[in-house]
Structure 1
Amino acid sequence: MEVRDLRAFATTVELGSMTRAAERLHVVQSAVSQAVKRLERELDLPLLERRREGVRPTEAGAALAEHAQVIMNGVSRADRDMAAYRNLEQGHVRIGLLHTATPLVLGPLLQRLRTVHPGLRLEFHEGMAAELVELIQLGQLDLLVVLSPVDAGGLRLDPLARPRLTAVLPPRHRLASRRRVRLRELAKETWVSFPRANPGRSWLEDGCRAAGFAPARVVEVETLAHLKTFVTAGEGVALLPAGVAEPEGATGALVVLDLLPSSTVVLACATDPHQPQGRSVAAVRCLLEDVAGTHRSGRAVRTP
């Protein structure tokens, strides 16, 4: 059964006249008559009783008219819903966030979303890079926000920004009054960093290697929150991308200094090239590009 035939039939039953049904549907009467005949042939049942004063449904026709009305209501709702998706008035996007990338994008992304696409619903999953890559490959996430280096496992990586690495110190550190520091000056410090399986560990090891030394002692922590807590307590110093410790730097809980020589990491959006990307996902990617623009040349924040 065709939807247009059901619409013609249901309208005829409602108005009791093929002529009035044709007028409402803006078609010729013969089109309505042919639609009813097609349904009667397909169902092998008489659906209308033709009378001089008009038409009325048979018992089977009355039952079909009820079903047709339900279908028409469903089609109308579907039309409205699809229009909402086209206009990005609704949608659902599942985003994976590397825990060190969360401070760079989460707050600004939500603010932009409320302004530009308030109907879109975002679902966030924060975790380690390997876990997030597996989830997107399984189709359980739509996109990832990660920081280099990361084993993308065949995912498409689109760079968003290149935030600079900064030195993060406790507020009473001997170098806390400085605006910038050479990495070599921190050679004898205790470092707070992530386990070697975490890509964030390479920020420390690669940076120290380039500066001509190896970290003397590293305190390993699993999460960014733990890293900040350890540094605040004076248990060591750390390297983090500019912006990650900005809130604590602004309040004086941590001291964040520009690092010499300057070094950057890549903030990127990862998607699975084998999964279709809908309009909602594309819209969120555009918002991420806007948000990431604030980190393209981010400066360190230090306490006054």
Structure 2
Amino acid sequence: MELRHLRYFDAIAETQNFTRAAERLHVTQSTLSHQIRQLEEELGLVLFDRSHKKVALTEAGEMLRSHLMPALQQIDRGLQALSHPAEALSGEIRIAATHSFNTRLVPLCVSSFLAHHPGIKVSVEELSASLIAKRLASGHLELGVAYRPEDRSELWFEPLYNEELKLVVSDRHPLARRRRVRMIELHNCRMVLLPRQFSTRLLLDDCFEAAGAQPLVIAELNSIAPMIELISQTDLAGIIAETAVSPAADLRTIPIEDPTPIRTPGLLWKKGANRSPMVKHMASLIRRAATGHAG
């Protein structure tokens, strides 16, 4: 059985006439009749009652068409998507990302997405990882770019890559010329960090404890951009993903070891949610971009 057999069958069922169906399909009536006979022989069923002027579907034919129509429509939509990708998707997509990814990665992916689908509205929120997880679970978001949630009962997490956090200081800081810094050396170091409601801060606290270090947390800010600005203007140090720090002459990023703080970002979505073609397309763009992002 081939797709053309099914299209021929559908055309005859709709026109109830072999001649009109042949004209619509741009084939000869004899070719059309031969193809339908092939289909009936393969199925071992009679699909059309040819005893009247109008061709009528038999009971088997009616049953086949009831199941066939949705499949043909789905095939046609897929072919249309390939021929007219800019028109294939419509509607709105709601995503959220933590600051590290909303600085460069997500805007890059949204730009690529809109270049292919300019008619789609893309709504992006910058939220903490915990809030992203909550809003995905409640159905207010369709896709998240964050870190592995502590409670994974309602969410799927797809790891993208491992991300190393680094020490960020101004070019005037005593550690600015160092090639590497051990975590113990940050004992009593004046620092600005995220508050403890952020998973990244909890990760850093674990690393400090493992190294036996206790920094002097002078400031806590809940957004990376003001942290970086504060670092550039003061003697405070921070620990931030290098991908979130735009190149600047007055800043230095330094690897940390013993231990090295590492996070695993990934894609998040709700278990059991029906992921639309829009969500799947955006996810594929993020996966591809993350490959270069990690490098």
TM-score greater than 0.5 by the shorter chain: yes
C-alpha displacement of 1:204: 2.5
- Aligned residue for 1:167, secondary structure, equals strand
Q: State how 1:193-272 maps to structure 2 within 5 Å.
A: 193-234=193-234, 236-245=236-245, 247=246, 250-261=247-258, 262-272=260-270
Distance 1:135 1:293 in 2: 26
Equivalent residue, structure 2, for 1:284: 282
User: In the aligned structure 2, how far is the partner of 1:130 from the partner of 1:168?
Assistant: 24
Distance change (3 Å), C-alpha of 1:25 and 1:159: same
* 8 Å Cα contact 1:96/1:124 also seen in 2: yes
- Residue type matched to 1:278 in 2? S
Q: Which amino acid in the other structure matches residue 269 of structure 2?
A: T
Residue aligning to 1:145: 145
What's 2:45 paired with? none
When residues 207 and 25 of structure 1 are mapped into structure 2, their CA distance, relative to the original with a 3 A threshold, is same
Unaligned 5+ segments in structure 2 are 1-9, 26-31, 34-49, 57-72
TM-score, normalised by the number of residues in structure 1 = 0.66
- State which drifts further: 78-87 or 231-240: 78-87
Work out whether residues 106 and 286 of structure 2, in 8 Å CA contact, stay in contact via their aligned partners in 1.
Answer: no
Aligned residues: 244
Tell me which moved more, 142-151 or 174-183. 142-151
Question: Which moved further from structure 2: 164-173 or 94-103?
Answer: 94-103
Distance 1:291 1:244, change over 3 A: same
SS state of the match for residue 199, structure 2?
A: coil
Shift of 1:220: 1.0
Distance 1:81 1:32, change over 3 A: farther
Q: Does 1:25 align with 2:24?
A: yes
Quick check: 1:136 aligned with 2:133? no
The answer on whether the counterparts of 1:203 and 1:239 sit within 8 Å (CA) in structure 2 is no
> CA 1:110 to 1:221, structure 2 compared with 1: closer, same or farther past 3 Å?
same
Note the 1:50-199 alignment, pairs <5 A: 83-85=79-81, 89=86, 90-91=88-89, 92-103=92-103, 105-110=105-110, 112-113=112-113, 117=116, 121=120, 122-148=122-148, 150-152=150-152, 154-199=154-199
* Structure 1: gaps of 5 or more residues: 10-17, 36-76, 299-304
Cα distance, 1:259–1:112 mapped onto 2, change above 3 Å: farther
Where in structure 2 are the equivalents of 1:44-55 lying within 5 Å? Answer: none
Deviation at 1:208, TM superposition (A): 1.0
- Give the direction of change, closer, same or farther, for the CA distance of 1:241–1:203 in structure 2 (3 Å limit): farther
Q: Is the 8 A contact 1:194 1:220 kept in 2?
A: yes
**1:119 Cα deviation (Å)?**
5.6
What is the identity percentage for the equivalent residue pairs of Structure 1 and Structure 2?
A: 20
What is the alpha-carbon distance in structure 2 between the residues aligned to residue 213 and residue 189 of structure 1?
9
Inter-partner Cα distance in structure 2 for 1:147 and 1:214: 25
